Structure 1
């Protein structure tokens, strides 16, 4: 059967098997009922994450709901320093203190233990272990395109303007990649700032939604994020490294079985500390996300941030579409362009594909996210809760706007990275 759509065109429908209401049918998307939510979450039967990741997601959903109520009552713009934050710093300092103790004992054994043969040997081993387990600062990645201020002055000027609007300063470097995501971080001993910008997300956003994206990411610098702080962040990295080094050998020989047994206690301690530190920083990380959304609203407007939230729901679709483009180009299915030409217009095709997603599908994704607790990852509050807090809050106007000239200038600066990364997607995403 069929009904008349919003533009006066005939729309094929079927009866909902649960409630009997007419359900519109679209060949590109699954059928679902907006009256009783039948089939609203068609991905619910897919395999879930592992036990640890599943636990983190449950905690993320619980903390996200608790913090939603808390943030509704607290309009302050600064993160709280609570008991969990204090405990996180204590654990982090203990981790770094252990590494320092290894180094000190190693030095003492080497310097003062020459009366024996064993002490300098043990001291050297302890020193090597301390060096191997030392806190490490992030480096710039060896993938994507690294941009500095002279490479893209208009892009960096926009970043600086958004940073000023959220109460912080800009970044030293921008790394452009193909993924549908964005993040901020630091690199090097001097902790210089870096913005990781994925074209898979950037290219499907309007100029004002891009301001919202920049406002959210730079808001992490303005409001603080415990997991990215120097002391706690490096402790998390160190514990992850400890767990990797102490991981049991697979298919071990007799001696390796003995080593696995001897390492079981320190391995358990390292893993326990990592889980504990991860747990006590999760709530602070959730709050940082809500604060970053609030900062983004102040910079780009409440409307732009709400639209950005919807775009985050289709990031999986973006990744799927990029893989489809790569597979199609490499197999030549459907008489498409050759692999050497398929990269041309890739980002425009991606943007057009996402722009063609109807509002009904976004509504389904919002409802499915509420049922499933969808979030960008297990460190973020569920997206529907973030969206609710933004929508229910003050309707803020944009403090930063991007005109057509600025948008065109930034597009010209990104033209070369866009072309290089389009070739990378066509060549590598099929694998």
Structure 2
């Protein structure tokens, strides 16, 4: 069955239904049957049921966000901040209490209790991330070595009202872009993936930068930092308490030792599952806030690059699976980025209709309460319904060549790694 196979007409509006691959047909006009998600049959029945439920509610949540806006996410953010404040206070109190009992102890029991409180404070400490660890496998770009790219980022920052990122990183292997805040100093880090940049036209790169810097302008990364203790602590504790998979027979135990071992496995497993369930619930709330933040950033993407470029960017993102095979080690050394961009541009032109269907099908396939982004299709609908905007940042041909020239060395590193991997 081809990507645009005709099967029948919509029972609601009479529009001819479309099919993409093995997906169930849906109406492109009124979205009839677009919420009909069917998990793979090879999955266990309980996992299929849970996934189907998650997709159904994720579909509705994305629809509400598209039609009602971002206001509903504020209550969830306040809840996350409250939980985070408690989680920061607990290890701080444990640290102070432990040191107090050890230093000003009256009995030996005080020393023991203080010594037990210190590991609790360490296990529950806020985790702000480390810049050095984040940089592994990536490259930090300085203004001296990549002036054109930094100049473009400065233009987009000025257009969106965002401060410039403190650190610019390029990832040769990533098909994504992101902004994050790490460390005690709260360093703002913008990360750009080479394959993603190779897939986009220059005006779409401007819209992409507008979206990512929009997170900084909207202080989304700072908000994420405030909510991070709530979103990671319970998951971390769950992993600490996760019992070993080996049972008493595998460990060669017998008698009371085996009984005690299995009892501890049962207790730890129960606590681990409870904490993981709490972790999932909190992250459902957090993901709702994340999706609203993505929608606000899309507004600034349109402001920087123009509505047409922002919508075109979303179409490019919907078509990413079509481009993966085109970024390969078969390209000629020294011109990898140029060849990839040329091949991907041709692929986009040939598969315009399929990309539109992929974008709309994402409304079904990618809907989830755990998703950090609204589906690409809903994001496109949201921007398309807003008054169109002209681009605040335009890029000359000379500037485009300079930006691509600065990205090219990192594309060559990816090409060399791919060529070695596939022995080309």
Shift of 1:17: 7.6
Distance 2:206 2:182 in 1: 24
**Within the alignment, does 1:91 sit opposite 2:83 as a pair?**
yes
Matches of 1:249 and 1:321, distance apart in 2: 43
Q: Structure 2 residue aligned with 1:236, among 228, 231, 234?
A: 231
Quick check: 1:396 aligned with 2:389? yes
After superposition, residues 312-331 of structure 1 pair within 5 angstroms as 312-322=317-327, 325=328
Which residue matches 1:419? 412
Q: 1:295 aligned to 2:303?
A: no
Secondary structure in 2 matching 1:168: coil
Matched, 1:166 2:160: yes
Offset of residue 353 of structure 1: 3.2
Correspondences of 1:250-269 after superposition (within 5 Å): 250-253=245-248, 254=258, 255-264=260-269, 266-269=271-274
Q: In 1, Cα distance between the equivalents of 2:245 and 2:322? A: 36
CA change 1:89–1:371 in 2 (3 A) is closer
Conserved 8 A contact 2:291-2:371:
no
How far off its partner does 1:225 sit? 2.6
Name the CA distance, whole Å, in 2 between partners of 1:407 and 1:261. Answer: 60
Match of 2:281 among 276, 284, 289: 276
Match in the other structure for 2:62? 64
1:379 aligned onto 2:372: yes
Distance in 2 (CA, whole Å) between partners of 1:170 and 1:318 is: 30
Residue 104, structure 1, aligned to residue 99, structure 2 = no
CA RMSD of aligned residues (A): 3.3
Tell me: CA distance 1:360–1:132, structure 2 relative to 1, closer, same or farther (3 Å).
Answer: same
Q: How many residues align?
A: 383
- Residue in 2 that maps onto 1:6: none
Which of the numbers 16, 32, 40 marks the counterpart of 1:35?
A: 16
Counterpart CA distance in 1 for 2:393 and 2:246 is 58
Q: 1:231 to 1:38 in 2, by over 3 A?
A: closer
Shift of 1:410: 1.6
Aligned to 1:398, what secondary structure does the other structure show?
A: coil
Q: Which residue of 2 aligns with 1:8?
A: none
Question: Structure 1 residues 66, 128: CA separation in 2 closer, same or farther (over 3 Å shift)?
Answer: same
Shift of 1:19: 4.7
CA contact (8 A) 1:181 1:198 kept: yes
- Cα displacement string for residues 287-325 of structure 1 (whole angstroms, at most 9, x for unaligned residues): 111111111101100000010000111223334544xx3
1:130 equivalent in alignment to 2:121? yes
Deviates more, 1:169-178 or 1:39-48: 39-48
State the partner residue of 1:141. Answer: 135
Corresponding residue SS for 1:66? helix
Distance change in 2, residues 1:279/1:105 (3 Å): same
Query: Does the CA-based 8 Å contact 1:224-1:288 persist in structure 2?
Result: no
- The answer on whether the counterparts of 1:173 and 1:194 sit within 8 Å (CA) in structure 2 is yes
Q: Match for residue 175 of structure 1?
A: 169
Shift of 1:388: 0.8
**Alpha-carbon offset, residue 187 of structure 1:** 1.9
Per-residue CA distance 1:45-97 (angstroms, 9 max, x = gap):
774996777766544432211111113xx8xxxx6773222211111112222
Q: What is the alpha-carbon distance in structure 2 between the residues aligned to residue 282 and residue 192 of structure 1?
A: 23
Q: 1:330 is matched with which residue?
A: none
**Relative to 1, partners in 2 of residues 1:175 and 1:16: Cα closer, same or farther, differing over 3 Å?**
closer
Instruction: Give the distance between the partners of 1:110 and 1:54, measured in 2 at CA.
Output: 53
- Contact conserved, 1:103 with 1:130, CA < 8 A, in 2? yes
Change (3 A) 1:189 1:419: same
Q: CA deviation at 1:271?
A: 2.3
Is this contact kept in 2: 1:91–1:277, CA < 8 A?
A: no
Residues 191-215 of structure 1 deviation map (CA, whole Å, 9 limit, x = unaligned): 1111111111111111110000000
CA 1:105–1:296: 2 relative to 1, 3 Å? same
CA distance in 1, matches of 2:53, 2:163: 35
- Following the alignment from structure 1 to structure 2, what is the Cα–Cα distance between the partners of residues 16 and 185? 42
The SS at the match of 1:396 is: coil
* Cα contact 2:336–2:415 (8 A) shared by 1: yes
- Give the Cα separation in 1 of the matches to 2:4 and 2:285: 48
CA apart distance, 1:342: 6.2
Q: Which runs of 5+ in 1 are unaligned?
A: 1-12, 21-33, 327-336
In structure 1, the residue matched to 2:7 is 18
Residue 211 of structure 1 corresponds to 206
Q: Judging changes above 3 Å, is the alpha-carbon distance between structure 1 residues 260 and 55 closer, same or farther for their aligned structure 2 residues?
A: farther
SS at match of 2:162: coil
